[in-house]
């Protein structure tokens, strides 16, 4: 089978950003001064638009699906205002490139960048506060217009620093393939919520039911597992923090400025996520993340990413028929409770403090805080998990096919989703290792939580030190 287009998150992983599991590189502590090589590169960048002119400079990720949306937004905005966007896509990481450009005086007027990597920009006041000039001026209440987690990713010290375009896209979903269900028969189909839950959003009623289906769909030949029952590998941290939150404890104690990962809730979360399925013999450490493993036939049930249904639809099976992948909502670890999630936010627009066409940049961001702007971006990937509910009446989210249903199930989780938070620095370097060690059977859940606590504490202290000066 052949994939027609890799997902953005896989693209960023291959580009060396460490997005699988921990977004390690993306969230490494930034120095207070841009690296010399970045500054040199910034000096070579195309010049900004002339001040007071009809053209403004837009930066965003150098990745085809993103560039396509930037062009669509630019065309609509130019038609509306007469202002033309000079789109200058940039390779990852954008936040360090922006700091370098500000030093060199070649900064853009607007930049599309993830809130989760923007803490250095917020701390150094490299981008403007949007409370008054964007939101108040546009008559938009961000707390009402956006999903909570989406706007929290662009909130710093009580101020709004950007216009979000997406919400969390990891942790909420569990997916399988219909060719696996057809192969296993009625007993397996009876356990799949997509076929049996009448009220949406469909989801597993418990982890035990999910594990039972995984056991049923696992395959062995000659005593060797040829298809594992399930995998949650990749984007582990978001799933782990979500389970902790679901069990009643947020991983960061803001009052005492310390992590609480090494706790009863942390250990139970690690058991649900990794240790128990490993002990059941239905999960192991693989050479790829759960989404690709599902597509490649390495696992039967994949847990985490919300892109599995639309990405799977781009593939074909060996007989030439389309692959049918469906997602349902991940279960809660607490009986009778709606599942709760901790999310990483998504992409959004920010305005550099030294934008040479500040008036145009502000007007553009005001427009992006409307349905008109949001719905144009929301078309990315055939319908992204959006930052706002105002776009949900668009045809891209309507219909009863498994892709549209899968999208709406992911979106339904947003009311119970909170953001990671910015105050601990978001440095997750090395955090993937304990999850790997549990899957390999070399650490228990309790030992892994102790390791994670130590890793995050060291990272936090390093981040605080890097932000001094």
User: What are the tens digits of pLDDT across the range 164-219?
Assistant: 999 988 899 999 999 999 999 999 999 999 998 877 899 999 999 999 999 999 99
- pTM summary value: 0.85
List, for the chain, all residue ranges whose pLDDT scores fall below the cut of 70.
Answer: 1-53, 469
Same domain? 315 vs 450: yes
Same domain? 192 vs 324: yes
Q: Is residue 67 part of a domain?
A: yes
Residue with tokens 């030949």, as numbered in its chain: 221
Q: Is residue 417 part of a domain?
A: no
The Cα-based distances of 325 to 209, 231, 381 in angstroms read 19, 15, 16
Residue with tokens 């035990």, as numbered in its chain: 208
Q: Is residue 26 part of a domain?
A: no
Same domain? 277 vs 184: yes
Q: What's the CA gap between 146 and 164, in Å, rounded?
A: 8
Which pLDDT value is given to residue 467?
76
Strand pairing class (155-156; 163-164): unpaired
As for how many domains the chain has, the answer is: 2
Same domain? 364 vs 454: no
Q: Is residue 406 part of a domain?
A: no
Same domain? 206 vs 85: no
Which pLDDT value is given to residue 11?
39
Which pLDDT value is given to residue 199?
78
Same domain? 336 vs 349: no
**Domain residues for 384?**
31-168+344-397
Same domain? 322 vs 457: yes
Crossing angle of helices 64-81/358-368, nearest 10°? 110
With CA atoms as reference, report the closest residue to 277 among 452, 431, 438. Answer: 438
Q: Is residue 405 part of a domain?
A: no
Q: Is residue 11 part of a domain?
A: no
- CATH number where 439 lies: 3.40.190.10
Same domain? 289 vs 429: yes
Which pLDDT value is given to residue 385?
94
Which pLDDT value is given to residue 48?
44
Cis upstream peptide for 468 (omega within 30°): no
Q: Is residue 291 part of a domain?
A: yes
Residue with tokens 């999903």, as numbered in its chain: 147
| Contact between 150 and 346 (Cβ < 8 Å) | yes
Per the DSSP assignment, residues forming a β-bridge with 59 are 88, 111
Same domain? 331 vs 363: no
Q: Is residue 64 part of a domain?
A: yes
Q: Over pLDDT 70: what percentage of the chain?
A: 88
Same domain? 178 vs 68: no
Which pLDDT value is given to residue 469?
60
Same domain? 224 vs 279: yes
The Cα-based distances of 135 to 142, 152, 351 in angstroms read 7, 15, 13
Same domain? 204 vs 250: yes
Q: How long a stretch of residues is the chain?
A: 469
Q: What's the CA gap between 283 and 183, in Å, rounded?
A: 20
């Amino acid at each position: 089978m052949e994939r027609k287009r890799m997902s953005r998150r896989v693209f960023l992983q291959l580009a060396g950003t460490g997005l699988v599991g921990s977004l390690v590189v993306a969230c490494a502590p930034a120095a207070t001064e841009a690296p010399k090589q970045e500054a040199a590169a910034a000096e070579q960048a195309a010049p900004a638009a002339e001040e007071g002119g009809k053209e403004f400079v837009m930066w965003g990720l150098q990745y085809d699906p993103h560039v396509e949306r930037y062009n669509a937004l630019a065309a609509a905005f130019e038609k509306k205002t007469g202002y033309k966007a000079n789109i200058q896509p940039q390779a990852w990481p954008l936040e360090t490139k922006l700091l370098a450009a500000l030093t060199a005086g070649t900064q853009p007027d607007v930049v599309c960048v993830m809130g989760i990597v923007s803490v250095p920009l917020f701390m150094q006041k490299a981008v403007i506060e949007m409370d008054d000039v964007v939101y108040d001026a546009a008559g938009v209440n961000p707390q009402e217009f956006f999903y909570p987690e989406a706007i929290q990713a662009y909130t710093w010290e009580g101020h709004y620093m950007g216009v979000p375009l997406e919400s969390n896209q990891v942790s909420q979903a569990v997916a399988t393939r219909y060719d696996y269900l057809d192969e296993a028969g009625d007993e397996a189909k009876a356990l799949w919520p997509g076929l049996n839950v009448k009220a949406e959003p469909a989801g597993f009623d418990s982890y035990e039911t999910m594990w039972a289906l995984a056991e049923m769909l696992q395959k062995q030949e000659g005593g060797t597992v040829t298809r594992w029952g399930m995998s949650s590998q990749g984007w582990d941290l978001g799933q782990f923090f979500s389970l902790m939150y679901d069990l009643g404890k947020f991983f960061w104690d803001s009052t005492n400025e310390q992590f609480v990962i090494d706790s009863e809730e942390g250990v139970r979360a690690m058991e649900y996520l990794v240790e128990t399925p490993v002990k059941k013999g239905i999960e192991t450490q693989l050479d790829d993340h759960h989404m690709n493993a599902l597509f490649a036939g390495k696992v039967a049930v994949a847990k985490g990413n919300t892109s599995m249904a639309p990405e799977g639809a781009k593939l074909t099976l060996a007989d030439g028929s389309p692959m049918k992948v469906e997602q349902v909502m991940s279960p809660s670890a607490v009986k009778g409770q709606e599942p709760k999630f901790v999310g990483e936010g998504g992409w959004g627009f920010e305005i550099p403090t030294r934008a040479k066409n500040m008036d145009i940049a502000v007007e553009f961001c005001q427009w992006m805080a409307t349905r008109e702007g949001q719905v144009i971006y929301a078309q990315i990937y055939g319908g992204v998990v959006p930052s706002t509910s105002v776009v949900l009446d668009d045809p891209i989210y309507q219909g009863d096919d498994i892709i549209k249903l899968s999208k709406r199930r992911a979106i339904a989780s947003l009311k119970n989703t909170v953001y990671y938070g910015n105050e601990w620095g978001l440095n997750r370097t090395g955090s993937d290792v304990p999850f790997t060690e549990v899957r390999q059977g070399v650490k228990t859940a309790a030992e892994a939580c102790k390791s994670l606590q130590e890793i995050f504490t060291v990272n936090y202290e390093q981040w605080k030190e890097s932000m001094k000066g």
